[in-house]
Chain A
Amino acid sequence: MIEDWQNGGFGVYVHWPFCQAKCPYCDFNSHVVAKIDHESYKSAYLFEINKKSAAISGRSVTSVFFGGGTPSLMEPDTVRAILTALKERFSFSNKAEITLEANPTSVDYTRFQEFRDAGINRLSLGVQALNDNDLRALGRLHSVEEARKAWEIAQSCFDRVSIDLIYARQNQTLRDWEEELKQALNRGFSHLSLYQLTIEDGTAFGDRHRRGRLPGLPDEGLAADMYELTQSLTSSAGLLGYEISNHAKADEASRHNLIYWKSGDFLGIGPGAHGRITLNGQRMATENQRAPTVWLNEALNSGTVGTMAPVSARDHATEVLMMGLRLAEGVDLGRISLICPDLIDPQGMSDLRDQGLIEIVGDRLIATPRGRALLNSVLVALID
């Protein structure tokens, strides 16, 4: 019998917590500091990898993802050392996807070649907008021109390049977004991550929003129109909306992110990184200290990193459902009932079917396009 995590595979996430500037919408674990001791951080990453891989060494790795923060600000040598350490402990196939997130500024793109040489084969570029005013409003340090240069260099260095864009920005009209998205689609990217701007607590935007100082955000109707337009434009351009915010040509989906959505196992390395690792049949959740220096100290001086706690069957099944329904392919109902037989409310499921928000195809539960746009509400109704 296979273990549940094998439905999603296994990957490694490496978090680099530093940025040149903090973007006002970002609620990720990112920090701006004057000076970074790259050698110490490298040692800390290697220590954590060594420590956490012991119990699961020999597994086959589907993917490695350097996220952040701005991992394109890492020393390429650190990236290389991390990949070398991982390869010593796990088996890598030739097709293993090694992604790095990057910002399209000159500081970053002048090192793309070195990152490729260190082992990166996929780049995820945080372009965010294709007009300079909006880039400034989003607190980005690059211009559209720089972004264009960055993706051209990226496309010459890496097998695969994805760009991120944010829509539903302040004062953005449906027409504005249509123009912008068409421009992006004309560039022939094989993967696009298209996110609706979300105002999160604890961010500069969140603070401004609470004080009523963030005018011009679209209402729910316009946001829905933008989301639907995004789905139709990308699919006519041959990019399948395989996940709520992710669109890709055939076989170009992010294999690493699919591990999350299919609830596979993943090692979380670095400050604030979360992981899910199945040990002796029990799914465990790992979580690291968010503050970079605290994490660093722990790794270099205490001999252990982060915390680890079992995930209950119900929480595990909830995650499988919650993450899986984000995918166009949906989720295997048999898998969920194997983990937690009474998670799903049959009445809720039947109502949602009647409302055309979900469908059942074979043994798969799939959120319809309308249901995916309402996934948060759908999940509340679906879970008993």
Chain B
Amino acid sequence: MTDLSHIRNFSIVAHIDHGKSTLADRLIQETGTVQDRDMKEQLLDSMDIERERGITIKANTVRIDYQAEDGENYILNLIDTPGHVDFAYEVSRSMRAVEGSLLVVDSTQGVEAQTLANVYQAIDADHEIVPVLNKIDLPASDCDRVAEQIEDVIGIDATGAIQVSAKTGQGIHETLEAIVRELPAPKGERDAPLKAMLVDSWYDAYLGVIVLVRIVDGVLKKGDRIRMMSTNAVYPVDRIGVFRPEMQTIDALGPGEIGFLTASIKQVRDTRVGDTITHEKKGVSEPLPGFKPSQPVVFCGLFPVDNAEFEDLRDSIEKLALNDASFSSEMETSAALGFGFRCGFLGLLHLEVIRDRIEREYGIELITTAPSVIYHIHMRDGTMIELHNPADMPDLTLVDHIEEPRIKATILVPDDYLGDVLKLCQDRRGIQQDLTYAGSRAMVVYDLPLNEVVFDFYDRLKSVTKGYASFDYQMTGYREDFLVKMQILVNDEPVDALSTMVHRDRAEMRGRAMVEKLKDLIPRHMFKIPIQAAIGGRIIARETLSALRKDVTAKCYGGDATRKRKLLDKQKAGKKKMRQFGKVDIPQEAFINALKMDS
């Protein structure tokens, strides 16, 4: 166990692509924590999807030994936090586990919205913040301008910002020195009862659940019996260790230290991020502040393309849920799509990650239905129903009013594109709250309904700003609005999987856009197909998909029979992949593409 004064705990705050992972790699390499021959790019991002998307989903950590210029040996604990709004709560817990942050900003780009959100989390956690200007080897690098921007936008002193090229290694030594010099050592009482924060956890096929902990007070030793304060579950600790970055077991963790424990915990579900861990006997009575169980905010249906794969889907969802407490699921039946699951996610990225993993790791092709938020349906009898799926909307005559979740969205955008961004937010029922400038970039803050954002807002934002805007949001609460359930009827039959909740004033527009989209997405049939949007019994938009008139092979003689028969077999197989609604075949991609809006 190391003396508190020789420990530094820190995280790195950065926007995607600003070089967080490369910087972490260099710090590890410079201190000799990993031999050069064992280096691989982005050491800390372990999951394929994380690597591919350049994002971190689980918190990772590494313990670095460093002999500073003052001749003393220090232990530096780096926690690499998730870098996406979907995981804001996880980020906040990681931030609470350390005392300082490196704020990494790309000196060719400047501050982005995501950086802002995370740096505010760091400020909230009372971090000492060391600004680092990265990519100074690039010709477009402009350290003065970016330092000024950090001061203007974030309001922290950037005069001492360290200039770094994580690529070439320039400034890495200075960064390590600054960590020792600028960041505070952790505080804690070695003799006090054990108080440790559960920072993150994940499943390992050999060791069971691995729990990442930060010791606040007391000492955690192998063989101790620990209690999770939120569940009161007790476990015997069978292994304690640190990451370097591979696992290395040690005998005990003392105050200020970050490491892992295993304790024959079967499910990640039993470990809650932010929970307080103490000893079974002589433990603390007060948990650490700020714990909240994670709550899904976005819901959608996942259905197997091939109905026969339902059981495989169930297995894969159960396995994923074991390792992800924030992901919820319950069985759902759709007239159109058969058996599937209604799943809850922390946000859209989380949804995509889970969907990708099911498709990739379990080989199940999925149909994803329209994402929905949770609506509060206030009934006339005074009760409130949480609506996760528009298909479950109760009888309107029993409903008093409906509330929807709102968010505070922060968007940073070069002022050339400001007009487009304001229009987009306005079109999505946004209420402008703030508009400020930092140099040639505008920072816009909007109050927006979450349901206008969950689906394609970010895609549209990227598209109207040619990728120059950055976006972040936080949930702010619920507000009443005039919301209605819009149904889509194909050939006069309602298609439950296409039902959505919309604002009454936007219903015609949304309805028209959806029926037009569907007209292109559904192949023509041998009969004409009306496609309608309806609120209650009233049709608000209608398109007609005209009937196919000509579909026959011109030449078919003896030598063509084999080939044409095989083609027919192929067409039959293709038809089987579509979903039948009455007599209409709807291709699986139509369910999600119908919702994408062009504005």
Contact = CB atoms under 8 A, between A and B. Distances in A.
A271 to B, nearest CB: 11
B466 interface: no
Contacts of B527: 355
B550 interface: yes
Contact of B549 (A13, A197, A221, A378): A221
Interface stretch (A88-96, A173-181, A315-323): A315-323
B553 A315 contact: no
B382 interface: no
A282 to B, nearest CB: 16
A273 interface: yes
B374 to A, nearest CB: 40
A374 B558 contact: no
Main SS of the interface on chain B?
A: loop
B559 A13 contact: yes
Contact of B548 (A275, A326, A377): A377
Interface stretch (B98-106, B446-454, B567-575): B567-575
Interface string A250-285: 000000010110000010100011111000000001
A383 B576 CA distance: 12
A220 B555 contact: no
A380 B556 contact: no
Nearest to A316: B565
A245 B555 contact: yes
Contacts of B140: none
A326 B555 CA distance: 10
Contact of B552 (A272, A274, A276, A375): A375
B122 to A, nearest CB: 53
Contact of A375 (B525, B553, B558): B553
B206 interface: no
A373 B557 contact: no
B551 A355 contact: no
Interface string A289-306: 000000000000000000
A380 B575 contact: yes
A195 B556 CA distance: 11
Contact of A266 (B553, B558, B583): B558
A379 B572 CA distance: 9
B564 A322 contact: yes
B192 interface: no
Contact of B559 (A196, A273, A322, A383): A273
B526 A377 contact: yes
A198 interface: yes
A151 interface: no
A319 B561 contact: yes
Contact of A287 (B552, B556, B562, B568): B562
Contacts of A323: 556, 561
Contact of A224 (B525, B550, B562): B550
A112 interface: no
A376 B551 contact: yes
Nearest to B563: A274
A381 interface: yes
B308 interface: no
Contacts of B556: 244, 260, 322-323, 326
B554 A244 contact: yes
Nearest to B559: A274
A319 B525 CA distance: 23
Contacts of A381: 526
Given A357-B526, A380-B568, A383-B568, A373 B558 contact: no
Interface in A312-368: 315, 318-319, 322-323, 326, 351-352, 355, 357
Interface in A194-222: 195-198, 220-221
A370 B557 CA distance: 21
| Chain A interface bracket (under 10, 10 to 19, 20 to 34, 35 or more) | 35 or more
Given A318-B568, A322-B564, A223 B550 contact: yes
Nearest to B561: A319
A262 B12 CA distance: 76
A126 B550 CA distance: 24
B558 A220 contact: no
B562 A274 contact: yes
Contact of A374 (B548, B557, B562, B572): B548
A352 B525 CA distance: 12
Given A272-B559, A274-B561, A377 B551 contact: yes
Interface string B513-555: 0000000000001110000000000000000000011111111
Contacts of A318: 565, 568
Contacts, number: 96
Contacts of B583: 351
A368 B545 CA distance: 22
Contacts of B562: 274, 285, 287
A140 interface: no
A261 to B, nearest CB: 8
A380 B551 CA distance: 11
Nearest to B546: A221
Contacts of B564: 322
A372 interface: yes
B526 A383 contact: no
Nearest to A384: B572
Given A260-B558, A274-B562, A375 B551 contact: yes
Interface string B191-220: 000000000000000000000000000000
Contacts of A45: none
A115 interface: no
A276 B551 contact: no
B526 A260 contact: no
Nearest to B523: A377
A227 interface: yes
B553 A268 contact: no
- Chain A CB count within 10 A is highest, among B559, B571, B583, for B559
Contacts of A260: 556-558, 561
A375 B549 CA distance: 10
Contacts of B555: 195, 198, 245
Contacts of B553: 198, 244, 375-376
- Chain B CB count within 10 A is highest, among A268, A319, A352, A378, for A319
Contact of A322 (B551, B565, B575): B565
Interface string B213-246: 0000000000000000000000000000000000
A374 B554 contact: no
- Chain A CB count within 10 A is highest, among B527, B553, B561, B583, for B561
B526 A378 contact: yes
Contacts of A13: 558-559
Contacts of A275: 558
Contacts of A224: 549-550
B558 A380 contact: no
Interface string A222-247: 01100100000000000000001100
Contacts of B572: 380, 383
Contacts of A196: 550, 554
A-B pairs, 4 with minimum CB distance: A224-B549, A224-B550, A375-B552, A260-B558
Given A220-B550, A322-B565, A323-B561, 7 more contacts: A15-B559, A227-B550, A276-B561, A318-B565, A323-B556, A352-B526, A355-B527
19 contacts: A195-B555, A197-B554, A198-B554, A244-B556, A245-B555, A259-B558, A260-B557, A266-B558, A268-B558, A274-B558, A276-B561, A315-B565, A322-B565, A326-B556, A373-B552, A376-B551, A377-B526, A377-B551, A380-B571
Interface of B: 525-527, 548-559, 561-562, 564-565, 568, 571-572, 575, 583
